[in-house]
Amino acid sequence: MPEQQPHFWAKLGAVTAFVSALAGLGALIVQFADPPSPTTTEPTMSRPSAVPVREVPRSLVSGAYAGTVFNQTFNQTGALRLILEESEGKVTGKITITGGLGGSGSVEGQFAEDRVTFISTEGSTGTLITWEGVFDGDRLSGTYVVSLPLALKMQRPDLPDEEGTWEVRK
């Protein structure tokens, strides 16, 4: 008696099950992947309609700033040094935070009218911090939000996302 070959539909079912398992694994990997790097995401700026627009000359944006940062989540103040370089609406630079608060790292973002929005990447953990600020003469002030990487949140679920305020002067 001739040996029977597996039926076509049985083979197709096995292949389909294998492909479905791979797709499920891919979805799991995407679910636990870290967010995109700050070079691939650009912060967007929005303005409440009641806030007047004050054009700040681009030449005044670039430079070194010093001031303070206040972490509202942990009720802690630190020193802040910010170096910005503006070119055609894009902002790059470096931020240094001392006094017990973390967050020092590179800066990338945008500038328009009297507002600056940028993301800094904290060097040791890759934590992203979104900063928004408004120029008023030589003063720049605003708010920030810390977004912890997913891997760190999974290791330390007790760590909250953080937020605060900041103010610097040229």
DSSP-assigned letters across all residues of 5-32? PPPHHHHHHHHHHHHHHHHHHHHHHHHT
- Domain ranges (residues) in the chain: 58-169
pTM for the structure as a whole: 0.66
Domain 58-169 CATH class label:
mainly beta
pLDDT-based confidence at 4, cuts 50/70/90? Answer: low
Per-residue pLDDT of 57-88, as tens digits, reads 766 789 999 999 999 999 999 999 999 999 99
For 92, the token pair is: 């790059």
pLDDT at 107: 95
The residue type found at 3 is E
Q: What average pLDDT does the structure give for the chain? A: 77
Using the predicted structure, report yes or no on whether residue 40 has a pLDDT greater than 70: no
Using the predicted structure, report yes or no on whether residue 24 has a pLDDT greater than 80: no
pLDDT-based confidence at 51, cuts 50/70/90? Answer: low
